[in-house]
Structure 1
C-alpha cells in the first residue's frame, strides 16, 4: 500500500485524518475549519475568501487571507504528501482525493448506487447499499469543528442522510417488512419527532403489524407536536394516511412479493429528501414584508413561480434562500438550488444543458443515465420531478428561456427566480421587486452586523451611515464589516470617509465584496447604447429626471429617451418614484460618473440640458408671470420637445418639481463655464422662488447671477440681475445694501439705454427709500418708474410699482392716494389675468379703504384676497391678508372670527422669511390686542416688531411700534415709559413728514 492509499479523511462525524493506523494531528481551529471546508467539496476550487468565511464565524481579521494561506501550508506539512492533497488552483485551493480516501465520497457513491439499484427494480440490493452508506456515519457531520459555513454544510449533509434513511425505509416497506422496522423507526422518530415522513412510515409499519391503535396514537402525537411547536397541522400526505388507517383501507396492506419491485424510471424514491440550499445567513435582516408575501404565496395550492428582481447588492439571493429554508418543510421531496451565473464576471451564463445536468445529478442520477442532448435531459428532468412537491431556487437568471427549461411539470412545485432585470417574458411569474432598504430596516441590519449597543449609543450616526450607503444591503454589510474589523474606527470616522463622493465606492470594498464590482456586473451586460446613456444621464444634477430632460441629455426624442429610461429601470440602475420621473440610486450615480470617457460628449450634453432648462423656464414664466419683460439671452432655442406649461397648474407643478434640479443646473453651469446659461436660467428661477416666499434661496440665486454676469461682462444681463438682487435685499431687510444695488442697476441701465431696467431700478429705489422713511424721495422715484413703465407698456412692472406707491401713501397717512394707486394696480393685474401681484394689490386696497373708514368695502376686498390664499403663496403675504381680516372682523363685532384670523396671521408670519412683513403683521395684531384690552400681549408684539424694524431700518414700522408701545404703557399706568415712547415716535413721524392726524391709532 503506497502513502496515498494509506491516507483517509472522515467528515461524517468528528473531523479525522488517518495515515494507515496513525491518526493525524491537524492543528488548531483555523486549520481544522479550512480543511473541513475543502473536504466538504472535494475537487472543487474554493477561493481564499470562502475559506476565510469558514474559518471565522464573523468578524474575520484583516489578516484573514494571510492566515488561511498559512493554515494550508501547515496542513501540507502535517498530511503525508500534503502538497498533492491540498492543491493551489488559481484564486484558491482544492482537495484532490480518490473515492476511498474520504468517507463523504464513499457515502455519495453508495447512495448513488443504491438509488440506481432501486430505479432498476433491485430493491433488496438498494437496501443493502443504503445500509453500507449509512454505516459510514459516526455522528453529526464535523461535530466540534463549528462555524456557520461548516454548520450549514453539515445541515445539508444531514438532510442527505435522512433522505437515504427515508428511502431505505420506503424500500423495506415495499419489500413487505413491517414489525421488524418498528424499533428502528421509533428510534428515528424519537430523534426527529417533527419529520412527518418518518412518522408516516412508523404508522404504516405499526398498522401492517396489526397495531392499528398505536398507529393512530402516533398521528395524535405528531399533530400535537406540530400545533404546539409550529402552530400548524400535519401535511396532506400524513392526514390521508391517518384516514386510510381509520378506514382500514385495503391499499395499505403489505405488497405482494411481485409488487415489491420498483419502476425503472426516476421516482420519489430516487429523489429522496434532497436539500442543497446555500447557507442561510443568521444575521439576515429586513425584507419582512417581501418574505411574508413569498411564504404566503408559496403555501397556496398548485405550482408557483415567484421571481425576485432588484439591483446588484439589494439582497435578492439572501431573501430567496431565507424563504426557501423557511418553506423547506412544505416541500419535503427536495429543495434544490443552482446559480445560473447570469451576471458573473468572465464567465458565461450556465446553459440549459449544463443546468439540467447539474439538477439531474443533484437528484442522484449517475452520469451514464443522463442524456447528452438538451431535449433528452429536459424530458428526464420533468419525468423525475413530475408531481413532486419540490422547491427550486434559480439564482442570478438573465434569460427567461433558460428558466423555462428548468420548470417542472405537474403541480405542487415552487420555483423561485432571482434576477437583476425583470424577465418580462417569463409567463406566470409573480414578481417581487426589491428596492433599497427602509431606514428602519437599515438600522436593524447595522445593529445585527455591527453591535446593537454601539448603534444605540449614536443612532443619528447610524442613520447617516445608512444614508451614505444608499440603504443598499451589500454596502451596509461592507461598511459594518470594515467597522467591526477596525475597532478603533468610530461611526463618525467611517461617515467622514464615505462623504467624499469621489472615493465612496472605494470605501465600500471588503475582501472580494465590492459595491462597484457588483454594479459593474450589471453594467457589463448592457448594450453599448445603454452604457453611454447611463453615463450621460448621470450628468443630470437634480433629484429626478423626466423624459424631456433625458431627451436633452441624450440628444434624442422624448419617446426614445423614455425607452432608454425604462430599460435602465428594468435592470435597476434607476428608480421610478412616480410615473414619468426617474431617479438614480446614489451609489449608482457615483458609479456611472466614474465611468465617463472623453468620447461620451459630456460638454455637449450639459449644454443641451442647460438650453432645455432655459427654454422651459421661459415658457413657464410666460404662463405664470404674464406681462414679464422679455430680455435677449444670446442663446438659440434648442430643437428639443418641451413639456406642456401653457396653463397655470402645469407650469406651477413643473416649477415646483424641478426647483432643486434648476438650482443644481445653475451651479453646474457656473462650474463648467456656461455663464450665459447660468444667468438666464437664474433669472427665470428667481421669479418662482420669490413668488413662493423662498427668500433665502432667492437671494443666493440673485447673488450668483450678479457675480456671473460681472464675470461674463454683459451689462444687459448684469442690469437685470442687479434688479432682482435689489428685490431680494428688500425682502430680507438689507435696505442699505439694496439702495447701493438698485443705484448700480440704474447706472448700468442708463449706460445701456435700457429704460425698462432703469424703470425697475427707480421702482426699487422708491421702495427702499419709503422703507427708510424718506417719503418725498421715494415718491419721486416711484412716479418716474410708473411713467416709464406706462410709456413702455410694461403693465406688469407698473402694477408692482403701484403697490409700492400705495404702501408709501398708506404709511404716510394719505389714504385717498393709497386707494387710487392700489385700485389701478388691481385693474392692471386683472387685465394681465392671474397676475400673482393681484393678491398684494387687493390687500393694499383693503388697508387703504380701512384708512378711509370704508369698512364694508374693505371687508369685500379682503374676502377676495383670502380666496386667493393657498399653499403656493408666500406665507408673509398671506399673513398680512389675515391680519387685515382680523382687524375688519373686530370692527364688525365678530370677536371669535377676529381671534381666529389673528392666530392664523401670527402663525404664518412666523413661517415667513421676510422680517419686514413680520414687523408689519406684528404691529397690526398688536393694535388689535390693544383694542381688545390684552395689553400684555400687545406690548410683546410691539416689542418684537420694534426689534425687527430697528434691525432693518424699517422706519415707518419702527415708528408705529413705538406709538403702540406708548399707548400700551399708558393703558397699564406706566406714564413715564409712555412719554418716552411717545417722544421717540414723534421724532420719527416728523422726520418722515407724517402729520399727527394721520398717524394710525
Structure 2
C-alpha cells in the first residue's frame, strides 16, 4: 500500500474503506463510480507503487469466474478512475498518477491516502508504546485507530481481493479492541474495560482472549462468581460450535480466579498481554549446525536484516539463493538461530520440496495449511482456498513477531501467498531460483566458498592436524570439490571412514573420474560424484548390511514419493520388514537418508537424484517395473484393508494387485490415520504407475487410485479424486481398455459432482453408462445407473433420475445386491421429492433406512435420515426435520464422513431458522460454510451464504470457489447420496 501522506495537485485524495467506501478530494466528496470501479481503485491503492498486471486485476475483481468482457470492463474502470484522479488531463492524458504499461497498471505510490493504512500505522505505533510499557500512550493510539472505523471494512466492494482484505482488516480490528480492553484493565479502568468487551463479545463470542480479559475484569470488580460463569459459558459455546475445549490460557485464568490467586490483583496481569487468539509459539528450527565455517560476512548481514540493531521491524523477505550444494539451507538455519530471540512468538520451518527430483513441489495451499497448523490451527479449520488461507495466516500473525524459514522454494511463485505478512514478521527463504523480482526482498546469492573457508571447513570435519599435515593436498581437495559445502562434507565423510587414508589418495580417486571432475566443478555434478563414492563404499563392503543399504538406495530411485517407510523398502527389495529397517538405518548413518517421524525417512534432494540415476543404470526395466508393482500392491491392498475397517459396505472394483501382504492395522482409527498419512505417497505412486508404458503397471496404478476413492471422498479431498480420475481416463484411452475407461469416467463424475460441477459430471457419468452397455457385469451397470441418477437429481432432472434409479433397483434386486438396492432407494426418494410426490419419497427413504440399519450401513442410513428430514421440511415440519438431521449428523461424525457434513449442517441450519431459533441456525450455517469451503463443496457454500443472508449476515459477493478453483453450482439441487464406489 502506498504511503499515507501524498498530495495530488495541491490537494489530497483520500480513500476511506473502514466502513462504507468513500472518496474525497480536499474534503469534497467524489463519486467513485460503480462497485467494481471502486474495487479497482482499492486493489491499485493497496499495491501503490507496484505494477499490477491485467490478469492479476481481473483475478482480484472476479476470480476464476471472470466474464468474457472482463478486460473491456477493466479499461472502462481505469478510464473512470483517471477522470477522478486527474480531471484536468482530459481523456487522453498523459496521466501521471494512474499509469499503464504493456502488462498492466500502476498507481503512483503517493497518489492516494487511505484510512486502512493509517489504521495499520496507528496499530504499529501502539505496539511500540506497548513494548515500552507506556500504557496511556498505548491506549491512546488504539482508540485513535479504532475511531477510524464506521462500519464493515470495504463495505459493498466485491471480488476475492477485497474479501481477503476485509477479512484481514476486520480481524485486526477485533484484536485492537481486545488490546484496548487490556490497556484499560491494566490502567485500572475496569468498568470501561467491561463495556469495551461487551460489544466485542456480542460480535465474536468465541474469541478466547476477549473472554479471558472479561473474566479478569469481572474478578477485579469483585464479581468472582460472574467471572467463573463466563468460563463455563465459553466452554459450552466452544464445545457446541467448534467441538473443542478452552485453550490453555483461558483454563489457567479460570484456575487462578477459582482460588483467588493474589497474582490477579490490580496491576499488570500475569495473563496480559495475551496473544490474539490461542496460538502456539512454535520452535520448529532444525538443530543449529555444529559444523559451520565461513560465510561470516553474509551471516552478519543476514542478522542485521532479520534483527535490526535499533530494534526496528525486520526486513520483510530475505532470500538466500545459489546453486545446489552451496550451503543455502545450513546458512539459513544458522542465521535463524542467531536471531531467534528477536522473534518471541515463534520460528516456523518448512521444506518446500522445490528442487526435489521427481516429487511435486509443495503447493501454496499445503504450504499455508502446514504453517497455520504450526501456529495451532486445527486441521479442519484451514480454508481450502489459498487466498482465504493466506488471509487467515496474516490474521494469526498480526501484532506478532514470528520468523518463517522456507527451505528449498522452487521459485517466487511458490511463496507468493506469504508476501506481505504483517510488520514484525519475516520470511527467510532458500531457493535455487532468483528472488530478484520479489517485492520488499533482499537477496543473497551464494557462490563458492573462499579457499581459506573451505580448508577451515575440512579441518573442522576431519581434524586440524590431518589437514595441517598436507596443506597442498587440502587446498587441491577444496578445488576438486568446487568450494561447495555439501561436496566438502561428503569428501570429509570418506576421509573419516578410514582415518589412515591420506588426502592425496582421495584426490587421486577424484582425478580418475574425469567426467566427475568436470561435474564437480559445476556444482550439482560435484555432488553426484561424491554420492557415487558413498554408494560404492557401501556396495563394495564385505558387510552384508552395507550391501543391502546400497541396494535399498538403488531401488528407492524407482519411486517418486516425498518420503517412505521400511515397509515400502521391504516391498521394493522383496525382503522382510526387519531387514529393510536395518538397511534404512544404515543409510541414515551414512547420511544418505534423513530420519523423520514414526519411522519414516526421506532422501536428501541430491541423494534422490543420484538414486534415480543409479536405478536407471543398475536395474533392468523388468526389475524396475517389478519393484514398482510390488509397491503398488502394498499400497493397494493396504488401502482396501483400511477402508474395510472403516466402512465394510463400500465396494471396490475387482483387481489383482501384486502379491503383497497389507500392513497390519488395529482398527478404524489406525486405518484412517494411515490413509491420511500416506495420501501424498499413494497419489504419487498411483500417478507413477499410470504413467508407465507397461500395461499391467498402468492398470494397477489406476486401480490404486480407484481403491483410494472412498478415503479421499470421506475426507473431502475431491480435487485428488478428480486428478486421479483424469489420469485413469488417459490410461483407459491409451490402452484401449473399456473397463478402466468406464471406471475412470464414473469416479471422475463423482469427484466433479462433489465440487458442484454437475454438468461436467453428467457427461462423464453418461460415458460410463454407455460403456457399461458393452463391458462390465450387472453390478457395474447397476452402479453406473445409480450414480447417473445422483447427477440427474442434482441438476433437477428428476424424471430422468427416476427412470435411472428404477432401472438400478431392478438390477439390484435381480442380482441380490443389497448395497445397490439401498442406493437405488435413496435416488428414488430424491427423484420423487423433486417431482413433488412427498408420500412416495418418504416411503423410499423409510424402506432404505430400515435396510441400512439392518445391514449396519451408517452412510446409507445417514442418507436415508436426511432424505426423511427433507420431506418434513417440505411439509412445513422443521422440528421433525431437525431431529432427523441431528441423528444423521451423529452417524456422519461417528464414521468420519466429512464430505457429508455440509449438507447435514446446512439443512440443520435451515430447520433451526424456520423454527425461529436464529442463534442456533447462524452457528450451524457458519459451520456449514467452513466445512464446505474446506471440502470444495460449491453448492453448500452458496447454500450457507444464502441462508446467512436471510439471517441478516452479508454473504460474499460472487459465486463460491471450489477446491480446484472452479465456480460452485448455482441453482442445482443438492446431491442426495455420495454414490457407489
TM over 0.5: no
Normalised to the residue count of structure 1, the TM-score between the two structures is: 0.44
Whose relative contact order is higher, 1 or 2, with alpha carbons under 8 Å and at least 6 apart? Answer: 2
Normalised to the residue count of structure 2, the TM-score between the two structures is: 0.44
